[in-house]
Chains A and B, each alone.
With several copies, the nearest count.
Chain A
């Protein structure tokens, strides 16, 4: 089992009722797996609606997570 942290921003943080959650995952779990298991229902959008990062670097939904990883769920950006 692995412990990971997920950061939420913008409206994703509102819907998840928090800017940071911790999850315990099975070995081999991908970002996409975690999203579908823990977030899709509350965020009400498919995985393709978001970008993701792991340890502050862009990551594909197919990336496998490891103990200690910090994942971010990144809605469409709107800076500027």
Chain B
């Protein structure tokens, strides 16, 4: 089964694993992106995510189709959470199954790389000092954000 979804409730890893398990599969690769307590050397207390949901889900669906075509994977799960996330919480899950392990791992890595580079989702850092800043905001200061 495939799942492509933006959601504002916590991500359930078991839902993703149940969706990709298949008797034809020898390998399942799962990637979880979680909220770090530091970004570029500065202490953080969490992240806020927003998405342009219609286009984001459409783009994730395209990535799903690319992974199936390029890596010969059986099932693809891509779920991204939005809203306020605490440290350690899961922001994104990518899970794929394939006949062989390297296909699964390569596809999983391509999945998260393409989500990060193409899907219209943005994160705002909530710094430990109380300030906030969107990632890639040119006015946030080169020393603070890339």
A–B contact via C-beta, under 8 angstroms: yes
Q: Is the CB of B122 within 8 A of A75?
A: yes
For residue B119, CB closer than 8 A to chain A, the reply is: yes
Interface of B (DSSP majority class): mixed
Q: Which of B80, B112, B118, B136 contacts A75 (CB 8 A)?
A: B136
Chain B residues 61 to 111 lying within 8 A of chain A, measured CB to CB, are 80, 91-92, 101
Give the number of residues in A that approach B within 8 Å (Cβ atoms): 21
- Residues A57 and B135 in contact in the complex (CB < 8 Å), given A9-B122, A72-B120: no
Residues of B close to A74: CB separation below 8 A: 52, 55, 120
Q: Which residues of A contact B91 (CB under 8 A)?
A: 79-80
Say yes or no: is B19 at the interface (Cβ < 8 Å to chain A): no
> Does B134 count as interface, using CB distance less than 8 angstroms?
yes
Name the distance in Å between B146's Cβ and chain A's nearest Cβ: 10
Contacts of B23 in A (CB 8 A): none
A7 to B56, CA, bound (A): 14
Whose C-beta in chain A lies nearest to the C-beta of B92? Answer: A80
Q: Enumerate chain A residues within 8 angstroms of B121, measured Cβ to Cβ.
A: 77-80
B140 closest partner in A (C-beta): A11
CA distance A57 to B120 in the complex (A): 11
Report A46-58 CB contacts with B as 1/0, cut-off 8 Å.
0001010100111
Q: Is the CB of A79 within 8 A of B119?
A: yes
* Residues on the A chain within 8 Å of B123, using CB: 78-79
**B: which residues have CB within 8 A of A?**
33, 49-52, 54-56, 58, 80, 91-92, 101, 112, 115-124, 134-140
